[in-house]
Structures are given as structure tokens and as C-alpha cells.
Amino acid sequence: MKRRTLEFSSHAGNLALMRSFVRGFLDNFPLSERDRTLMVLGVDEACTNIIRHAYKLREDQPIALSCEGRSDCVRLRLRDYGEQPKAEALRERRRGVIRPGGLGLIMMRNAFDKIDYVLRQRGTELVLTKNLG
């Protein structure tokens, strides 16, 4: 199993570093350019949500990213220690409903095969899985 980790603060300026880190990790796997790009954008959206919602735009809070490559999948884990998402924020919206917010979750679901929110005693771990092959 191949594994890399990155820890960074919740400053939006760190998102470019995170995207480059994820892109470099994904380049080692048999994924199409489209899948790689969607996955990078999905992780970027997840980090933006952490900054905006879990940390209420505080720029000095920790975010940990773990990238795991297995023979059958790539798994990315994002860990924060902020406010946990409300259950209704994690539900997929009905087709045809147009309103602000929630589109990032749809984008993440298009990029990954499985999305799991693990509520911890403090904060949340988001597990994003993309199957290979």
C-alpha cells in the first residue's frame, strides 16, 4: 500500500499546495485525466467546506490529509477538529431542486465511488474512495 500525508492550516492559500499534493499522488495510479481532475476538485471542495463550515473561516486550524493507494482503490481521508456537519447537510438534494449550497457534495459524489463521514468525538473524518479498474 502506498501512503502519503499532508497537514496544513485552514488558510485558503494552502489549497493550491493541497491540490498539487493530491495531483502528484494520483499521477501514480491508472486513472484517466478526467477522473484525476474530478478527484482533485472534489478534495478541494471538501477542504473548502471544512474551512467554511467546520472552522467558520478561521485560518489557523489543522486539516490532515491522508492519501492511500491500494490494489483495488485510492482512498483519501480528510480530518478536521471543527464543528461537525448537520445531518441534513449530508443528504443528497432531490433532482430539479435549485437553491444555493449543496452542489459541492454532488460534485464529490461524481468524482468518488464512496463518500463516508465519520463523526469523531471532536471533529469529522471524511473518507473519499475511488475504485480502480
Residue 2 confidence (pLDDT): 92
Residue 95 confidence (pLDDT): 55
In the three-class reduction of DSSP (H, G, I as helix; E, B as strand; rest coil), residue 64 is classed as strand
Residue 50 confidence (pLDDT): 96
Residues in the chain where the model's pLDDT stays below 70: 87-102
Measured CA to CA, the distance from residue 42 to residue 30 in angstroms comes to 18
**Amino acid in position 84:** Q
